[in-house]
Structure 1
Amino acid sequence: MVPFGDFEYFGLLLYILLPLIALGLLGVTHRAWTLVAMGLLLVLQASGSVPLRPDFHVREIYIIIGYTVFQGVVAWGLLKYKNRRVFYGAVGLCLLPLFTSKILPSVSPHSAFGFLGISYITFRSLDVLFSIQDGLIKSLAPAPYAAFLLFVPALSSGPIDRYRRFLKDWEKARDRGEFLADLDIALHRIARGFLYKFIIAALIKTYWLDAWSTGRSLGTLWIYMYAYTFYLFFDFAGYSAFAIGVGRFFGIRLPENFDRPFLSKNIRDFWNRWHISLSFWFRDHVYMRFLLAAAKGKWFTGKHTSSYLGLLLTFGIMGVWHGLSFHYVLYGFYHAGLLIFYDWFSQWNKTRKLLGESSLQIFVNRLLTFHAIAFGLLLFSGRLTPPAPPEFEKIVEKADGNEVRGIAWDRSAQKKEIKVDLYVDDAFIERKSADAFREDLRDRGLGDGKHGFRFSLPWWVRDGRPHIIEVRESANSSPLKGSPLTVEVERNDEEIRREEENLRKAREAAEALEASPQAPAPPQAPAPTTPPFRAPSPSGAK
């Protein structure tokens, strides 16, 4: 279940938080129940499975537990054998699961590794390793360390906390007054999250972003750029508001992630306001460490060389962290270029005084900065770079009372015919080859475009009752993405009467044929390869 993704999640979340609220109102801080509540939330969110191999799926919760134990062993190993070589080895081991999750789908298209939030947990794990190496952490207790890594409200998308700050909140006992103050902030933040994510972002997506999501004309891209910029902010800021608000129920004061970023006066100011926990993490653990190492080693003689190379390194890594696609890497280097240009221009402007600090100039600066940011997010969206075709795509695109339609494509088996099976209420209906030509598939780079399929649903599905529709790949019986799903179509009495009449006539003809002494015996039908299917009575009789 996606955290903060729908109202069902919030309903289940409320049940888990009720004991924490009751304890808080009594002025009791009970970390044991906090761990239990976090465990329940973790099970709620990590309820899926991960295909380590096409024929071997593992529950996501088991991977998370194994990952946490692995990172704990690495951290405690560094604590015990702290030296530079062990530190580098620990950092490499810490990054190994994240690299595997990024690279494995490219190497083995039908395999995957990881879980929702592995990038953010890796940042927390690295923060612990850096702090151990710097001598800031002398010991690690299992419970707070696990709670820090797996703090569920911030698990999937941050904010990125720091262990020493988290530990202060974890060890602090709240009285009733402090809990009520946290409760007030929590409710306000959650209300803001609903406003941002489920109202403003949803409206932008429905009536603005989706309406301009196709086409590559300059005007279309310009309008899409604005829509995507505002949508991304309100959606992400809404999620962060939820995380910060729910964190307060646990007594954890997560760091802020946004501070009116579109009012930034320059690009440096922007990175102090946008995704703050991420930008500060990269500043402290990548950029500053690179500058320190360069200064100690006297790597460069130029005054600004180490700073500019540090920016390229930092934002290049940030781009790769978002994904291995070209537009993510381009986004990172684009922002590095903006920061380098701003630093150079600031130095140049100090002597020439071309730009001042008047109200008009500040307004112009904000306007220019906003458009530089928006163009960067347009790069980030991937609209300016042609998307690479997926390694495989097997999905049900449409299912209603009349038909089921979808795609079955596999780059590794382009010349091999992919067959799919239709099931209704877990009963086999029909098998077809996914070989229908579709121009849109060819235009997307999916081979020759002959990878579509379409099933016509039987008439008795349109009986006003819910039916479970599922499409499975014939070779391994695995359901396609978007399947199974439930279809409920308004009862069509005229069609039902017509089909029942056809069935009645067919039965009468068969009975008359059997009763005729001159009629030759009908040929024996071959045995079906699947169990015979009996459609439910359209009239509702059992």
Structure 2
Amino acid sequence: MMIPHMIPYANPGYFLWLLVAMIPMVVLLLVKGVRWQWYQILVTCAVLYVSFGGALWQQGVALIGYVLFQTLLVYGYHKLRQQKNSSGLFYAAVCLAILPLTFVKVTPFMTGHGSIMNFLGISYLTFKSVQLIMEMRDGMVKTYHPWRYIQFLLFFPTISSGPIDRYRRFEKDLLHPPSKEDYLVYLEKGVSKLMLGLLYKFILGYFFGQVLLPVVTREALDHGFLSWGMLGYMYVYSLYLFFDFAGYSLFAISISNFMGYDTPANFNKPFLSPNIKEFWNRWHMSLSFWFRDYVYMRLMFTLLKKKVFKSRILASNVGYFALFLLMGVWHGLTWYYLLYGAYHASLICINDAWLRWKKKRSQPLPSNRWTKALGIGITFHAVCFSFLIFSGILAQLGCK
């Protein structure tokens, strides 16, 4: 019987195939506390075939070529990194690691159509590759096992929608399955996240995305920027984006838990954040922390070490704009993604300035549940406005 193409976590049929495939893994971990690596590889191949087979065979070929390229690149860097000119080698390796993603992002802008190198999840795999190269340079990863690295890249629960795991954490889980007692906790978490994901993705996400969003979109486009329709669109789209994406992340973490992996969380009640910095510590956390650790902190270290700016505050603000503009470019080379990045960088800078001003006051400002509620409200509306920019509806409005 032919296995049909299925988008990961997009329909009940995908879950049916996946949960049936999970049964031997679950039984082995429950009864013996062991994991058959060969069976996990077999399921991985089946899931990749289901995800990238049929009409998407070109994406499957691109994925295979990409993984081979990254595996050889990291192997080469690992072998040569002890040379005297290791700094130049490091930057060359990082540039080569992001080259396929850069090509994929630039091609539509230059040619008007997508790249043949593109496949679902290329961004997440690129972040994993760059991460490992950087950690090798820092001495945090001292040995390289190509087969483990390939399993890290092709870990199917997270390949399409994240979260972005760390290699050392994944390798630990890969080599050391949980005990039977610990696996019961994993299983409980997996079931809980699966149920919550179903609520988010197929009930709330469907309601906001399929029922309400088309209605408010028409109203917004018909009545323009300064209209109730646009205001409704802003909130509906923001809630749809959260429930849909958080639902996907919950599914990925849930399936990981069933397999005995403790994949990190991706969302933590972001709309209850009292300020914009806290929001980015709760929204798409694995991406936020990746950019923080591998872009912002390293950029700040360079700016301060080289004394590019005399003021640490100015260096920090420049770092925020570089970080969020890069995040905007990662989403796509369009003006509204760049504006989205610049807007969030501005919010972060304003938030820091506010904190500095509060610290300098002789009399502290009140801090209680009411001021916290006010902060949550302001942050929620500011974030929703950013998602209005991110959605691209303003570009559609300008084309009318």
Please say whether Structure 1 and Structure 2 have the same fold, judged by a TM-score greater than 0.5: yes
- Deviation for aligned residue 1:109: 3.7
Give the match for residue 107 of structure 2.
Answer: 104
Give the match for residue 145 of structure 2.
Answer: 141
Q: Which amino acid aligns with 1:92?
A: C
Distance change in 2, residues 1:338/1:199 (3 Å)? same
1:35 aligns with 2:41: yes
Distance change in 2, residues 1:387/1:2 (3 Å)? farther
Matches within 5 A, 1:343-382: 343-352=352-361, 353=363, 355-382=365-392
- Measure, in 1, the Cα distance between the counterparts of 2:73 and 2:54: 27
Matches within 5 A, 1:66-85: 66-82=65-81, 83-85=86-88
Deviations along 1:342-363, whole A, 9 cap, x unmatched? 1011111222357421222111
- Measure, in 2, the Cα distance between the counterparts of 1:209 and 1:110: 27
- Measure, in 1, the Cα distance between the counterparts of 2:368 and 2:187: 42
Deviations along 1:34-79, whole A, 9 cap, x unmatched? 12211211111111556xxxxxxx6322211111110011111111
Distance change in 2, residues 1:369/1:320 (3 Å)? same
Q: Which amino acid aligns with 1:85?
A: G
- Measure, in 2, the Cα distance between the counterparts of 1:202 and 1:103: 32
Contact 1:16 1:41 in 2 (8 A): no
Matches within 5 A, 1:479-518: none
- Measure, in 1, the Cα distance between the counterparts of 2:191 and 2:69: 36
Q: Which amino acid aligns with 2:307?
A: K
Give the match for residue 273 of structure 2.
Answer: 264
- Measure, in 1, the Cα distance between the counterparts of 2:14 and 2:269: 28
1:191 aligns with 2:190: no
Give the match for residue 182 of structure 2.
Answer: 178
Distance change in 2, residues 1:98/1:60 (3 Å)? same
- Measure, in 2, the Cα distance between the counterparts of 1:119 and 1:172: 28
Give the match for residue 307 of structure 2.
Answer: 298
- Measure, in 2, the Cα distance between the counterparts of 1:76 and 1:177: 37
Deviations along 1:168-203, whole A, 9 cap, x unmatched? 111113333233222221111111110100011111
1:200 aligns with 2:209: no
- Measure, in 2, the Cα distance between the counterparts of 1:45 and 1:207: 27
Deviations along 1:385-418, whole A, 9 cap, x unmatched? 3479xxxxxxxxxxxxxxxxxxxxxxxxxxxxxx
Give the match for residue 241 of structure 1.
Answer: 250
Distance change in 2, residues 1:265/1:111 (3 Å)? closer
Matches within 5 A, 1:145-160: 145-160=149-164
- Measure, in 2, the Cα distance between the counterparts of 1:49 and 1:301: 56
Counting matched residue pairs gives: 383
Contact 1:48 1:59 in 2 (8 A): no
Aligned with residue 219 of structure 1, among 228, 235, 255: 228
1:8 aligns with 2:7: no
Percent sequence identity over aligned pairs: 40
In terms of fraction of residues, the more helix-rich structure is 2
Distance change in 2, residues 1:35/1:387 (3 Å)? farther
Give the match for residue 45 of structure 1.
Answer: 51
- Measure, in 2, the Cα distance between the counterparts of 1:206 and 1:355: 44
- Measure, in 1, the Cα distance between the counterparts of 2:170 and 2:200: 26
Contact 2:201 2:248 in 1 (8 A): yes
Aligned with residue 19 of structure 1, among 16, 24, 27: 24
Q: Which amino acid aligns with 1:40?
A: A
Give the match for residue 323 of structure 2.
Answer: 314
SS in 1 for 2:191: helix
Deviations along 1:201-232, whole A, 9 cap, x unmatched? 11122332221012224211111111011111
- Deviation for aligned residue 1:101: 1.1
Runs of at least 5 residues in structure 1 that lack an aligned partner in the other structure:
51-57, 389-442, 445-542
- Measure, in 1, the Cα distance between the counterparts of 2:70 and 2:261: 22
Contact 2:29 2:260 in 1 (8 A): no
Q: Greater RCO between the two (CA within 8 Å, min separation 6)?
A: 2
Give the match for residue 61 of structure 1.
Answer: 60
SS in 1 for 2:141: coil
Give the match for residue 333 of structure 1.
Answer: 342
Contact 2:105 2:330 in 1 (8 A): no
Bigger shift: residues 33-42 or 2-11: 33-42
Q: Which amino acid aligns with 2:11?
A: D
- Measure, in 1, the Cα distance between the counterparts of 2:188 and 2:208: 29
- Deviation for aligned residue 1:12: 1.5
Give the match for residue 161 of structure 1.
Answer: 165
Q: Which amino acid aligns with 1:99?
A: T
In terms of fraction of residues, the more strand-rich structure is 1
Distance change in 2, residues 1:167/1:332 (3 Å)? same
Contact 1:60 1:115 in 2 (8 A): yes
| TM-score, normalization by structure 2 | 0.92
SS in 2 for 1:257: coil
- Deviation for aligned residue 1:318: 0.6
Q: Which amino acid aligns with 1:178?
A: D
Deviations along 1:104-140, whole A, 9 cap, x unmatched? 2333345522100000110011110110111111111
Q: Which of 1 and 2 has greater Rg? A: 1
Give the match for residue 89 of structure 1.
Answer: 92
Matches within 5 A, 1:401-480: none
- Deviation for aligned residue 1:237: 0.8
- Measure, in 1, the Cα distance between the counterparts of 2:214 and 2:364: 42
- Measure, in 2, the Cα distance between the counterparts of 1:266 and 1:110: 39
- Measure, in 1, the Cα distance between the counterparts of 2:169 and 2:177: 15
| TM-score, normalization by structure 1 | 0.68
- Measure, in 2, the Cα distance between the counterparts of 1:324 and 1:383: 16
SS in 1 for 2:393: coil
Distance change in 2, residues 1:298/1:48 (3 Å)? farther
Q: Which amino acid aligns with 1:36?
A: L
1:280 aligns with 2:280: no
- Measure, in 2, the Cα distance between the counterparts of 1:322 and 1:194: 26
Q: Which amino acid aligns with 1:163?
A: Y
SS in 2 for 1:384: helix
- Measure, in 2, the Cα distance between the counterparts of 1:23 and 1:59: 35
Q: Which amino acid aligns with 2:243?
A: F
Contact 2:178 2:260 in 1 (8 A): yes
Contact 1:16 1:40 in 2 (8 A): no
